[in-house]
Amino acid sequence: MSSHHIVKEKQEPALYIHQLGDFSEEYLGQLLEWSPTLIVNATEYEKIISMGLKVDIVLNPVENPAIFQENTKTIVGPGDDYNTVLNYLIAEKYPAVNIIGTESKLADLSYYIPLIDLVLFTATRKTYAITSGFKVWRPQGSIYYIEVNAYFETSNLRQIEGEEFEVINDGFVEFIFNNAYLLISEKL
């Protein structure tokens, strides 16, 4: 028995691979499951196509675009690669993007948080912004990393040390705070 999924264009978050590093192929497969628009930094292009993936867009290529897969577009921008990709996605009306990188630098992208839903993945963490009232069910022992730079209240969560927090019991965890958003990370 097979299932066929019809996904409207831009319904799923785009996927931008900035640096693949040691990112798990299993997690990569999960992010690619619904065939998102796949944007790849030119430095990662060869590695990605060697995995048998179809690349939709290559960012800042230095080589001749004729060597890319058929129907692959290119985007070129000055300055920071993240800014170029995010400005492109916003202009094209994408509501969300998943980004794979080797560093968790979502705080550096704070300008974009109100403009597009961002989730940043590294080999060990998933980082995203939440708004006050965010509530999610988590099993006991789940770990969150929260940059404690503003006052926030939470239920069912205790601070272990520094930025590391642990879910006390199976159940909902809720975050209440006065800032526009709070950056949290989950251990993968």
The tokens describing 13, both together, are 């978050």
- What is Dmax (Cα atoms) for the chain? 55
| pLDDT string in tens for the chain (188-residue length) | 334 444 456 778 999 999 999 999 999 999 999 889 999 999 999 999 999 999 999 998 876 666 788 888 999 988 789 999 999 999 999 999 999 999 878 888 999 999 999 999 999 999 999 999 999 999 999 999 998 777 899 999 999 998 999 999 999 999 999 999 999 999 88
d(CA 102, CA 100): 7
The tokens describing 148, both together, are 């404690």
The tokens describing 46, both together, are 């060869």
- SS3 state of residue 147: coil
